[in-house]
Amino acid sequence: MMDGMHRNPHSHKGENGKVAVIGGSPTIHGAPLLSALAAEAGGADLVFVCLPSTHQDVARATSLNFQVHPFHGNDLTENDLPPILELLATMDSCVIGPGLSRTPAALKVLSDLIDSASCALVLDAAALQSWTLDVIKGKTAVLTPHLGELERMGIEPDDIGRVAKEHGVTIHLKGSIDRIAAPDGTVTEVRGGNAGLTVGGTGDALAGLIAGLLAQTMEPLEACRLASTVIKRAGDVLFQEKGYAYTAREVIEVIPKVLQMVGM
> Which pLDDT score, from 0 to 100, does residue 5 have?
54
Q: How far is CA 114 from CA 33, 39, 59, 84, 127, in A?
A: 20, 20, 23, 11, 8
Under 8 Å between Cβ of 109 and 101: no
> Which pLDDT score, from 0 to 100, does residue 264 have?
56
> Which pLDDT score, from 0 to 100, does residue 9 have?
59
> Which pLDDT score, from 0 to 100, does residue 208 have?
98
How far apart are alpha carbons 118 and 90 in whole angstroms? Answer: 9
> Which pLDDT score, from 0 to 100, does residue 4 have?
45
Query: Following DSSP, what letter does each residue of the chain receive, concatenated?
Result: -PPPPP--TT--TTTT-EEEEE--BTTB-HHHHHHHHHHHHTT-SEEEEEE-GGGHHHHHHH-TTEEEEE-SSSS--GGGHHHHHHHHTT-SEEEE-TT---SHHHHHHHHHHHHH--SEEEE-GGG--TTHHHH-TTS-EEE---HHHHHHTT--GGGHHHHHHHHT-EEEE-SSSEEEE-TTS-EEEE----GGGGSTTHHHHHHHHHHHHHHTT--HHHHHHHHHHHHHHHHHHHHHHHTT---HHHHHHHHHHHHHHTT-
Give tens-digit pLDDT for 40-63.
999 999 999 999 999 999 999 999
Domains of the chain and CATH, by start: 18-261 (3.40.1190.20)
Low-confidence ranges of the chain (pLDDT < 50): 1-4, 10
Give tens-digit pLDDT for 120-155.
999 999 999 999 999 999 999 999 999 999 999 999
Under 8 Å between Cβ of 215 and 18: yes
Under 8 Å between Cβ of 156 and 135: no
